[in-house]
Amino acid sequence: VIPLSLQRRVEGLLQEHVDRIHLALGKARDKLEENANVEHIEDLVPRENPDSLVDASVMERVLQRRSLRLRNVQRAWQESPEGTKMLNFRKSLPAYKEKDMLLSAIARNQVVVISGETGCGKTTQLPQYILESEIESGRGAFCNIICTQPRRISAMSVAERVSAERGEDPGESVGYKVRLEGMKGKNTHLLFCTSGILLRRLLSDRNLNGVTHVFVDEIHERGMNEDFLLIVLKDLLPRRRDLRLILMSATLNAELFSGFFNGAPTIHIPGFTYPVRAQFLEDILEITGYKLSSVNQIDNYGQEKLWKTQRQLLPRKRKNQINTLVEDALSKSSFERYSSRTRDSLASWSPDCIGFNLIEAVLCHICRKERPGAVLVFMTGWDDISCLKDQLKAHPLLGDPNRVLVLTCHGSMATSEQKLIFEKPPPNIRKIVLATNMAEASITINDIVFVVDCGKAKETTYDALNNTPCLLPSWISQASARQRRGRAGRVQPGECYHLYPRCVYDAFAEYQLPELLRTPLNSLCLQIKSLQLDSIGEFLSAALQPPEPLAVQNAIDFLKVIEALDEKENLTNLGQYLSMLPVDPKLGKMLIMGAVFRCLDPILTIVSGLSVRDPFLLPQDKKDLAGSAKSRFSAKDYSDHMALVRAYEGWKDADREGSAYEYCWRNFLSSQALQAIHSLRKQFNFILKDAGLIDADPGINNSLSHNQPLVRAIICSGLFPGISSVVHREKSMSFKTMEDGQVLLYANSVNSRYQTIPYPWLVFGEKVKVNTVFIRDSTGVSDSILILFGGILTHGASAGQLKMLDGFIDFFMNPSLAECYWNLKFELDKLIQKK
């Protein structure tokens, strides 16, 4: 029995601790808001702060002078030989013919919807036409054009391209801004940014003051941020009658958007793509002579699903009958017979064991038999891309660097690699680009003549009923398949190889489901709250296609649990702070806790690691070796997160000794991912410093970094309520979460390698449903940590709860934790006094 006096003391301490964290956060928030405003004015509206100039006419004169300068620079470039050459290229794009019509439509209407084939010049030309015409008319410095992109890499590469077309470097008249990175200057009047950046700007500047034109690009993708932006912008338009909104889309569902904006005019830019011949699996088997001889030899890619599900659907059929079935499936009638049930089971396919022989056969065919031209292969994700790349290396023809150049294109690639994709290969070398669906619409590689389409893309879906996100490669839509095919017809007639039967294509959905309907809405709801819009539910019901009320409720509940919202759904200090950090709310909370509790370094590494790709590689054929390499980093920590910290520290040491490459190779680590973590860490550090949450002296920020139980507690505070219990029964061990019942650990988790885990709980950041629910990275925590750090900020722990937990006494009797607690009080006192 816990003495009452001790209980009271603990409660008192907790309350104090809670109050102080709140105070610190409140102050930090004010500072962040202040900075945010300053930053935004410079950021997106690059001119002097109008308030600093007493006289408006002075401002006017400054801008006029700048406008003249802009015009001189522009004219000089256009008259130069390179400028003329560039202009001639630009005139060859289909958008050019419509230029005057487009400009006048934009001048006459507040909203215009524009569609046109990928590559016709929407992204690079339209915003540029406005910029040029404003500059030419002598008003260049008065216009501020923003063009949003769904992905950071497209924002950057487009800005680079448009700058080059204007004979400049990014950051002059054209710039970009993406999460944690940007290139913009005083004279930047056309800014490419991600849609997330524009949303963040709207948080502190509801009216988009100073912005004259907003382009929302790639709206056909129906990304969550784009859909969200459209609601907010629709609300803004009546307040900013002078603001122009231009929506751009590659495919022709313009009516949907036009309807949303009360019948805004739609303009289609007629394309100039060459015809592309579509070949489906049945044709491909014929052309390549590839034999589907036995089930074991059938490639998993593309057609695998179909066969596999048929096998599942017909368990009693003997194996040797399946071959007939396979051939049978190539005829439409038989596919239809299975298709309704097949489609359900398609969702449960996992890309774990993929063979690429069919793709290899197609590539060989192209290299041997076809005319020159680059090849673009659409695959589902980075793992597949790197596996296939490895397989091709070993191929006598495709692996020969004198004949074939294999490049990759995916979201997290380095900028240097990105440039290579656009470059012409040396003569007589065939360029093959392995890409995710990123290359579908937002990136244009000019010399593509052949496209290989596996028919799938990794798509997150969201199961609101079980509140579980799922990440599955699923069949793309017909619109996507057409889009992929179109990539082959940029410079001459092309060929597209679809690695699935035509009847499968016919069964595809027409368009993809909007992201808003297939992702958890946590971050989004937090942003809606901080925009102080109506109630979250009401706001989202104004969307093009509103999400289910249950999905919204789940998000609100989640935000309450992590204490970003209070009981009345008002934003807490923590919530306001989190809405401004450019990370997932959970990770944001972990960062703040790491800063406040003075164990910054390990937490920076963990948060950065969780926001980029996992640095622990898992090659198909060396899973076991890779797994044991990873568990070497975990010692007796029972924590994937700590393993990450150790791996990163080791990499830094190795780097200092010049052996980073070997270190990565030996330990199955991705040096790219580690680099990314390294730079993200710096950026997060900067943000925290900027907010006044950490000290200039790294020693102080890390005074408790060595305290392992504390680091564990901070991990718990960020990942809560992602928690599963560890159930030991006899010799086996299983894991359960409240919502899902039994769950499994990812094979690559260090915790999957232990016979027993001496902690009653595992906290995890992410769970994914692939048949069963899997939890990814996890860390073992004790009862007391869970109660003290799982959602402590406002509730603390009630006496009743504490009483139930034997562990809590240990917590305060444990000298190192008690010490850290007192240290914390001390550090917080200092932090607050400094304000």
What residues line the site for ligand CDP (CB under 6 A)?
A: 93, 116, 118-125, 157, 161, 422, 444, 446
Per the listing, tokens 């070796």 go with 625
Distance in Å, CB of 120 to ligand CDP, minimum? 4
Judged by CB, which is closer to ligand CDP: 329, or 433? 433
Task: Select from 17, 5, 33 the least CA-distant residue to 580.
Answer: 33
Q: Is 123 a binder of Mg ion (CB under 5 A)?
A: yes
Choose the binding region for Mg ion from 62-70, 119-127, 308-316, 480-488 (rule: CB under 5 A).
119-127
Distance in Å, CB of 157 to ligand CDP, minimum? 5
Judged by CB, which is closer to ligand CDP: 149, or 717? 149
**Residue 137 structure tokens:** 């008319």
Distance in Å, CB of 122 to ligand CDP, minimum? 3
Distance in Å, CB of 733 to Mg ion, minimum? 51
Per the listing, tokens 């999460």 go with 179
Q: Report the partner that residue 274 touches, choosing among ligand CDP, Mg ion, none (CB closer than 5 to 8 A by kind).
A: none
**Residue 520 structure tokens:** 């958890």
* DSSP-derived 3-state class of residue 481: helix
Judged by CB, which is closer to Mg ion: 206, or 482? 482
Judged by CB, which is closer to Mg ion: 195, or 554? 195
Q: Report the partner that residue 77 touches, choosing among ligand CDP, Mg ion, none (CB closer than 5 to 8 A by kind).
A: none
Distance in Å, CB of 110 to Mg ion, minimum? 22
Judged by CB, which is closer to ligand CDP: 268, or 623? 268
Choose the binding region for Mg ion from 64-72, 114-122, 508-516, 655-663 (rule: CB under 5 A).
114-122
Judged by CB, which is closer to ligand CDP: 122, or 712? 122
Q: Report the partner that residue 119 touches, choosing among ligand CDP, Mg ion, none (CB closer than 5 to 8 A by kind).
A: ligand CDP
Task: Select from 586, 554, 809 the least CA-distant residue to 718.
Answer: 586
**Phi, psi torsion values for 348, nearest 5 degrees:** -100, 15
Judged by CB, which is closer to ligand CDP: 408, or 527? 408
Residue closest to Mg ion when measured from CB atoms: 123
Which helix or strand (DSSP H or E) is residue 773 part of?
strand 772-775
Q: How many chain residues interact with Mg ion (CB under 5 A)?
A: 2
Cα 123 from Cα 741, distance rounded (Å): 48
* DSSP-derived 3-state class of residue 459: strand
Cα 422 from Cα 410, distance rounded (Å): 14
Which residues lie closer than 8 Å to 138 by C-beta, 6 or more apart?
64, 67, 68, 71
Q: Which residues pair with 378 in a beta bridge?
A: 435, 453
Distance in Å, CB of 446 to ligand CDP, minimum? 5
Distance in Å, CB of 427 to Mg ion, minimum? 30
Strands 181-183 and 244-249: unpaired
* Total number of residues shown for the chain: 835
Q: How many helices (H) and strands (E) does the chain have?
A: 35, 23
Judged by CB, which is closer to ligand CDP: 93, or 145? 93
Q: Is 667 a binder of Mg ion (CB under 5 A)?
A: no
Strands (E), 117-265: 145-149, 174-178, 181-183, 190-194, 213-216, 244-249
**Phi, psi torsion values for 668, nearest 5 degrees:** 55, 50
Q: Report the partner that residue 170 touches, choosing among Mg ion, ligand CDP, none (CB closer than 5 to 8 A by kind).
A: none
Cα 644 from Cα 667, distance rounded (Å): 12
Which residues lie closer than 8 Å to 104 by C-beta, 6 or more apart?
none
Distance in Å, CB of 126 to ligand CDP, minimum? 8
Cα 710 to the chain's mean position, in Å? 30
**Residue 310 structure tokens:** 């048929």
Q: Is 273 a binder of Mg ion (CB under 5 A)?
A: no
Judged by CB, which is closer to Mg ion: 92, or 742? 92
Assess contact for 765 and 690: CB atoms under 8 A. no
Choose the binding region for Mg ion from 118-126, 256-264, 645-653, 782-790 (rule: CB under 5 A).
118-126
Q: Report the partner that residue 148 touches, choosing among Mg ion, ligand CDP, none (CB closer than 5 to 8 A by kind).
A: none
Judged by CB, which is closer to ligand CDP: 100, or 336? 100
Distance in Å, CB of 38 to ligand CDP, minimum? 32
Distance in Å, CB of 137 to ligand CDP, minimum? 23
Distance in Å, CB of 378 to ligand CDP, minimum? 17
Which residues lie closer than 8 Å to 143 by C-beta, 6 or more apart?
130, 131, 134, 189, 212, 213
Judged by CB, which is closer to ligand CDP: 129, or 759? 129
Residues at the site binding Mg ion, with contacts judged by CB under 5 A = 122-123
